[in-house]
Amino acid sequence: YLEGTKPGRIPVPVLPPPLPVTAAETPVYESRAALIQKVMVRVVPAPLLGIRAMDVAAPEIPAVRVNDTIEHARNVMLRKRTRVVLVVDDKGKIVGSLSTRNLLYSIGTKGPLWKRRPYEKEFIREAMNPNVVIVRENAPIENVANTMVTEDAEVALVVDRRGMLAGVITKEELARALVEARGGVRVKNVIVPPRLGVVHPHHSLSNAVQRMKAYYLDALAVAVGGRAMGVVSENRIPFVPLEDARTGLRSRRLIWVRRLERGGRPIGRYIKITPLLVEDVLTPITATVSLDDSIRKAHDIINSNGIDGIPVEDERGGIIGVVCMHDLVRELARAAREIERKPLETEEVRMPD
């Protein structure tokens, strides 16, 4: 039995040895990106809007010092009704920016940082974004959007020929310019693939934040069984009350009941935990848009509700994704041409008197 033919065994023919390959027939290896470029259908880029950075730049933006606390920066955002502030050092040099997006990432990983003690000032340095994009006043806004997306920056400083600060650009200015010029673009042409921008209310906030970081989203649709429950909006989370004056940090009591086992007694155990879930920070909203709606309609709903995104439903009424402000910025960045690869240094920016 050990040496004979086994029942059900199928003999496999022996393959001949490979043919010898001469030097002239040596295979040439190409990268995956090069092969994709050969077979990919090249899309004609959209024409430039003809809008320059100075045409959409805001005249000013609040600033905080790097030694300030997160709580102070958060209060400045509330008072000035802004989503981003510049961070300067003791000498007045710009060292970064702090936005609601940075606070969101901090909450998802370390909890509400503005509740740290006053002497723990180093947390503002940990939460801020050191990448500050500096562009010329005559730069096309498509190039500005592309640079901000590439550098993962929330704000771009606009300087004139003398290097003087002439204004600032955030995603709000870029999205508004795109909608005014090309508001007829369909939602289905700008959103990420279906299901990537949808979470369940019981997903952890950390999971939602990681998804937003991975797909460059500033909002997520919250749905149960295809029905919209609300959105997780980047600009709302840092200002959501995560603590109660009477009970403290929001908490739940989870109970696990063990099965009956022989030789023992049934035990019911509970553990008091304090997770941050999506349902703790979601913004309830019932308004939705369809895949065939225009980005102008989506932008109007976003602005009227003070959020960063709106759920998208398919032809059957089920929630399949979200259209957000970052989608509009990314759509604008796709039309960029001749990006200036040498970034300007922050030392070159001079504040006007």
Domain boundary among 122, 150, 176: 176
* The amino acid at 143: N
Both tokens assigned to 315: 């032809």
Percent of the chain predicted with pLDDT > 90: 31
pLDDT band of residue 342 (cuts 50, 70, 90) is very low
Both tokens assigned to 182: 């090309």
Q: In this structure, are 228 and 304 located in the same domain?
A: yes
- In DSSP terms, 312 is beta-bridged to 289, 321
Give yes or no for residue 145 having a pLDDT over 60. Answer: yes
Q: In this structure, are 288 and 324 located in the same domain?
A: yes
Q: In this structure, are 236 and 142 located in the same domain?
A: no
Q: In this structure, are 195 and 166 located in the same domain?
A: no
Both tokens assigned to 63: 């600033």
Chain-centroid distance, C-alpha 287: 22
pLDDT band of residue 338 (cuts 50, 70, 90) is low
Report how far residue 154's alpha carbon sits from residue 333's, in angstroms, rounded to the nearest whole number.
Answer: 14
235 within domain boundaries: yes
pLDDT per residue as tens digits for the range 62-81: 999 988 888 888 889 988 88
pLDDT score, position 41 = 52
Query: Range of 133's domain?
Result: 53-176
pLDDT per residue as tens digits for the range 248-289: 555 555 555 555 555 555 555 555 455 678 888 889 998 999
Q: Work out how many domains the chain is built from and give that number.
A: 2
Radius of gyration of the chain (CA): 27
**Residue ranges of the alpha helices (H) in the chain?**
32-39, 53-56, 70-80, 100-110, 123-127, 141-151, 171-182, 205-214, 278-281, 295-305, 325-333
Q: In this structure, are 146 and 165 located in the same domain?
A: yes
Give yes or no for residue 320 having a pLDDT over 80. Answer: yes
259 within domain boundaries: no
Chain-centroid distance, C-alpha 166: 27
Percent of the chain predicted with pLDDT > 70: 72
Give yes or no for residue 298 having a pLDDT over 90. Answer: yes
Domain boundary among 142, 176, 210: 176
89 within domain boundaries: yes
128 within domain boundaries: yes
111 within domain boundaries: yes
Q: In this structure, are 322 and 282 located in the same domain?
A: yes
User: Can you give the pTM of this predicted structure?
Assistant: 0.73
pLDDT score, position 353 = 53
Mean per-residue pLDDT over the chain, rounded: 79
**Range of lowest pLDDT (14-18, 128-132, 199-203):** 14-18
42 within domain boundaries: no
Q: In this structure, are 221 and 150 located in the same domain?
A: no
Q: In this structure, are 74 and 160 located in the same domain?
A: yes
Q: In this structure, are 116 and 192 located in the same domain?
A: no
Q: Give the torsion sign (CA, 194, 195, 197, 201).
A: positive
73 within domain boundaries: yes
CB contact at 8 A, 277 and 204: yes
Both tokens assigned to 170: 């955030």
pLDDT per residue as tens digits for the range 18-69: 777 666 656 677 777 676 666 555 556 667 788 999 999 998 889 999 888 8
Q: In this structure, are 57 and 145 located in the same domain?
A: yes
pLDDT score, position 116 = 45
pLDDT score, position 168 = 92
* The amino acid at 226: G
Q: In this structure, are 204 and 154 located in the same domain?
A: no
Report how far residue 332's alpha carbon sits from residue 300's, in angstroms, rounded to the nearest whole number.
Answer: 18
**Range of lowest pLDDT (64-68, 112-116, 188-192, 310-314):** 112-116
Please report which helix (H) or strand (E) contains residue 216, including its range: none
Residue with tokens 């060292």: 95
CA distances from 307 to 70, 115, 284, 318 (A): 22, 24, 11, 21
pLDDT score, position 343 = 47
Report how far residue 307's alpha carbon sits from residue 290's, in angstroms, rounded to the nearest whole number.
Answer: 18
Domain boundary among 133, 153, 176: 176
| CATH number of the domain encompassing residue 117 | 3.10.580.10
Q: What stretches of the chain adopt beta strand conformation (E)? A: 63-65, 84-88, 94-99, 133-136, 155-159, 165-170, 198-199, 219-224, 227-233, 243-244, 248-249, 252-257, 268-273, 289-290, 309-313, 319-324
Closest CA to 344 of 174, 170, 171, 160: 160
205 within domain boundaries: yes
